[in-house]
Structure 1
Amino acid sequence: MYLALKRSKRFLLFMPAAVLILSCSGVPMNAWQWSLPPGVDVPEVPADNPMSAAKVVLGERLFFDNQLTANQAMSCSSCHHRSKSFSEGLSFTVGSTGEKNRRNSATLVNLAFNRSFTWGNAELEHLEEQIVIPLFGTEPLEMGATGREQEILQRFKADQTYRDLFASAFPGERDAINFINIVKALASYLRSLNSFNSAYDRFRYFGDSNALNESELRGFALFNSDKTRCSRCHSGVNLNEPIDTQRLAAEDTFHNTGLYSFDVARKFDDGLFEITQRADDHGKFKTPTLRNIEVTSPYMHDGSINSLEEIIDFYAAGGRLIERGWKAGDGRAHPNKSSDITGFVISAEEKRDLIAFLKSLTDREFISVN
């Protein structure tokens, strides 16, 4: 029932009545086998959507199918490319009707381990909740399913392959082809997108002391140092959580990094504040994973920083001063800027080492196009 319980200011506006109640029938019979490194616990999965191989297979097919969009102009994969670690490579994503989103498409890597799933909403704690937004959302419109549910479902009901896949994924259900099950299958597929085969993983989890070269090791030490404070916000399995994870709430993974001044952020995108309406959440956004960061540019919620070199310069400066244009302002002076964004002095060699470490987080097998 968790889809019906969230009451964020944006979320319930997006949800048609047909999606508000989850079915409890159809428990899959084919179990899912997680492939995780030593020391990484199996992630939590909602009790009413247990993992199964059949649901993952169905979810993958749906993810790459334009038929899931009302006008059949795009699929989920149109904004999430495997070669870019299931991000898009654009500053702003564009929906099926050409409407521009004000935020970019974040990577989908290791979502099963996340505490929240969007740039600016800590209340979406399950993938099933997040998936409803691009499907049915109208502000902005992405896949455009609202009001055209039966038309979309009929496409799948007319396809024998899909009839078989839904029957396998949700055995025992008389009418398995519905949006509740589409959401469940997509969530199962996304939970299966796990990446643990980078050089960093081989060093960190598999005990390969030779996995990182000397430059990468120096960068790793710098990343974890009191000088840069990178690991203060980029720790944990996904390198997207505070270093102290005891009693960690989802909102603790949202930070203001000094990207924009207070006035500019209020006009353009005020992040977590738009949901919570709490003054100390002005300009806070979810800390992204650093996994495969080499291929997920442009960076930040609005894609306003283009390279790893620029990212390091930004944090070294303790935030960003924009001198011209309508976004002009001093983000470094934002009252909510994280206390860990203090700035630092870094040499050219240290910057090379830090970038070398960040590139060691790339899982080449994961991003390879099958």
Structure 2
Amino acid sequence: MIYLLVAQPALQAQPALQAQSAQDSIENKAQIELGRRLFYDADLSINGTMSCATCHEQRRSFADGNQAHPGALDDPGKRNVPGLANIGQFKNLTWAHNHLSGLAEQSLMPIRGTNPVEMGMNGHEDEIRKRLGQNGCYQKLFLLAFPKEKGSIHFGTVSRALESFQKTFISNQSLYDQMMEKGTSLPTKNAQRGKKLFFGAAQCNTCHTAPLFSDDDFHQVQPREQKTTDYGLSDVTGNPKDKNVFRTPSLRNAALTSPYWHDGSAKTLIEAIQKHDLKINQTLSHQEITELVAFIDTLSDMTFVNNPKYAKPSKKCPY
């Protein structure tokens, strides 16, 4: 079917609106660039040993490959570090918290959080201002990014810049995406059968819903009576029904983000599938699980993990 698009005359924007749009663009670009630099800056940790990128490595789709990562002061990590692909499109942003207003608030959890202590900056607002304010490039970037606040440096502007950068983390060029766009089959029989299982008999897509391959919701993933030191969502809500309830992780780039589950207890995708306490998994053969893994492998987006705009910036100031 052929659709004819008829061009409509464009409305003439008023000069004031044009100027405002240009200013917004400058601010947005500056916020992204500022957020990128802050993401890789260990000065956001109490002793200068940990940045956001310490736990969120681009080559691992912004996960880190450990079961859990200790904090800057060697406090043990509480949960496995999740990947950040397409994080700007999620409503629920962590393994077990459903009351966060957005990525700006979430970014303060590792920086200022106390359970566990990660970057250890709680109560050190003046230190953030002092450290970043001594850097001439940061002075320029904060002023460009937040002109209405006259370039003020504080946890609020830092977290909003980090949010702007993370919202650019778009992953949609995997082999699966390319084959879907072309309308062609996946290249191997295992991957083809795995796709059929994923969207069919295995019912994986019930929770790992395309295109994010997550339903962005919380589910009980282990028996409530199971002994644990991490009660998941109930630690936030106080509701016993939320015990052992955790967010569905995205499977995009999952082959790059091992280990798996909120506690990092599954070392491989095969183990992660086997850990699901679902009746359907009692009927999956080893071959079928292998086929599911072959399909999940096609969700890896190497253009995302190699994209230079997400990488550590050069020391040279862009402004």
TM range (shorter): 0.7 to 0.9
Counterpart for residue 278 of structure 1: 239
Aligned amino acid, residue 286 of structure 1: R
1:113-152 aligned at under 5 Å gives the runs 113-152=89-128
Report whether the alignment pairs 1:313 with 2:274. yes
Report whether the alignment pairs 1:359 with 2:289. no
Shift of 1:91: 0.9
Report whether the alignment pairs 1:195 with 2:171. yes
CA distance in 1, matches of 2:30, 2:22: 8
Counterpart for residue 22 of structure 1: none
Residues 28 and 306 of structure 1: CA distance in aligned 2, closer, same or farther (over 3 Å): farther
Aligned amino acid, residue 366 of structure 1: F
| Percent of pairs with identical residues | 33
Report whether the alignment pairs 1:95 with 2:63. no
Residues 27 and 133 of structure 1: CA distance in aligned 2, closer, same or farther (over 3 Å): farther
Counterpart for residue 205 of structure 2: 231
Shift of 1:147: 2.3
CA distance in 1, matches of 2:186, 2:21: 42
Gaps of 5+ in 2: 1-19, 309-319
Residues 181 and 187 of structure 1: CA distance in aligned 2, closer, same or farther (over 3 Å): same
1:98-113 aligned at under 5 Å gives the runs 98-113=74-89
CA contact (8 A) 1:234 1:240 kept: yes
TM-score by length of 2: 0.84
CA contact (8 A) 1:79 1:93 kept: yes
1:205-220 aligned at under 5 Å gives the runs 206-220=181-195
CA distance in 1, matches of 2:186, 2:147: 45
TM-score by length of 1: 0.73
CA contact (8 A) 1:113 1:237 kept: no
CA RMSD of aligned residues (A): 2.2
CA distance in 2, matches of 1:282, 1:106: 20
Counterpart for residue 12 of structure 2: none
1:1-370 aligned at under 5 Å gives the runs 29-31=23-25, 52-204=28-180, 206-225=181-200, 227-241=201-215, 253-258=217-222, 262-265=225-228, 268-315=229-276, 319=277, 342-368=280-306, 370=308
CA contact (8 A) 2:207 2:214 kept: yes
Query: Higher helix proportion, which one?
Result: 2
Aligned amino acid, residue 109 of structure 1: A
Shift of 1:346: 2.5
Choose 1 or 2 for highest CA Rg.
2
Q: Secondary structure of the equivalent of 2:81?
A: coil
Shift of 1:58: 0.6
Q: Secondary structure of the equivalent of 2:190?
A: helix
Aligned residue pair count: 289
Residues 263 and 355 of structure 1: CA distance in aligned 2, closer, same or farther (over 3 Å): closer
Aligned amino acid, residue 264 of structure 1: K
Residues 177 and 355 of structure 1: CA distance in aligned 2, closer, same or farther (over 3 Å): same
Shift of 1:369: 7.1
Gaps of 5+ in 1: 1-25, 33-50, 242-249, 320-339
CA contact (8 A) 2:87 2:166 kept: yes
CA contact (8 A) 1:111 1:193 kept: yes
